[in-house]
Homo-oligomer: A and B are copies of this chain.
Amino acid sequence: MPLSSIEHKALASLDEQGLIKALRDLVRIPSATGQEAAAQNWLAQQMRHFGLDVDLWDIDVAELQRHPQFPGMEVDRSKDRAVGLVATWRREAGAASGRRLVFNGHIDVVPEGDRASWQYEPWGADLVDGRIYGRGACDMKGGLMAALFAIKAIKDSSVPIDGSLMVQSVIGEEDGGIGTFASLLRGHRGNAAIVCEPTRLNLIPAQAGALTFTVRVPGKSAHACVRLEGVSAIEKYLDIHRTLIQLERERNSEVEHPLLGKLPLPYPLSIGRVQAGNWSSSVPEELIFEGRIGVAMGEASDAVRRQFERTLLNLAEEDPWLRDHPQEIKWSGGQFESGEIPLHHPLVKLCQQCMVDLTSHEPVLQGAPYGSDLRLLVNFGGIPAVLFGPGDVRVAHMPDEHTESSQVILAARAYILAALRFL
């Protein structure tokens, strides 16, 4: 449908250059998960400068951890403040009426990894051929900044709106979702939420979950020269790995979900870390492995945990050593439930229509095999939410992560339309 004059006016108020500059400034502030305070403080200043109502607070991590639905955490948060940041805006300050649309974006990024693999500076925010390079440029400072500038554009345009807009700049998404969890507990809610994750501005109303585990496999030390007198934790792991691959196969054999079922492997079980032994000539008496198991749509996380544990227990029943020396399973780190809203939810249709009106192309509906804050908003917050943002998730977490500035601007335009039409 054609854009209204109000929509045209708001779109025209978007400060595109300011958006790209602010995004590059934000990318230059390292904010690996657990070290987001500097970036949050800087962003809070921007928000105040734009005239938004800013709530910047210290998150009591210890208190959150006692919550029965705590979403998990992997990093050490003893070294840096855990800072919550939410900005709200409404046309008439103080008026509490009307609906609210929430934009949710995480400010934490994964570490830059091996610097030598980068052609660009991980914290340099180089703008080359229309692409902004840097850790977090795609995942997801681009989407976060697009949302902030969308609100600013609506505000600056002076178009009349009812209700309010909110942007949640959250920490700790990568390792569980502590920031969104804290924001919801603090009462920062709305009638719907757009999670500005990189989807290439396609729409993801369904995301699988992912549960992080750490397993200790016991062995028995011996000098390598008499290795038969020991029990190699590595050899025990070989059987465990095979068993887990089999479990993954079973869990992915008949996935009927209309979006997740299209993926080659909707619910991966992946081992990310293995560490065993401390000397080349000793039989290793311990192996630790860490990984994640996908949670299917509609499946309870607890059921997945029990199945995983039972699978390892069944294996141990057939292995005299493991039967007498149990593996220790911890559900460490991020515990991402799966989450979804109906494919034809009004929020999905709204965002789709905004993209059609802006680009004449219909965005694709997709399912995500990864966890995100969507499930916290939907399951814990009771707020319909969809992933919808600029950038390609394929370059997230990678060297030379980047986003296209044109897509960031298009995202801001889509958010402006979505906000005006939602309220």
Contact = CB atoms under 8 A, between A and B. Distances in A.
Nearest to A393: B223
Contacts of A232: 270-271
A5 B232 CA distance: 54
Interface in A273-329: 273-284, 287, 290-292, 294
Contact of A397 (B223, B234, B393): B223
A397 B274 contact: no
Contacts of A214: 280
B224 A210 contact: yes
A247 interface: no
A274 B272 contact: no
The secondary-structure label for the interface of chain A is mixed
Copies in the complex: 2
Contacts of A270: 224, 227, 232, 281, 283
Contact of A210 (B225, B238, B287, B394): B225
A235 B208 CA distance: 24
A228 B248 CA distance: 12
A241 interface: yes
Given A225-B369, A397-B282, A287 B274 contact: yes
Interface of A: 74, 110, 208, 210, 212-214, 221, 223-228, 232, 234-235, 238, 241-242, 264-265, 268, 270-284, 287, 290-292, 294, 332-334, 368-370, 393-394, 396-398
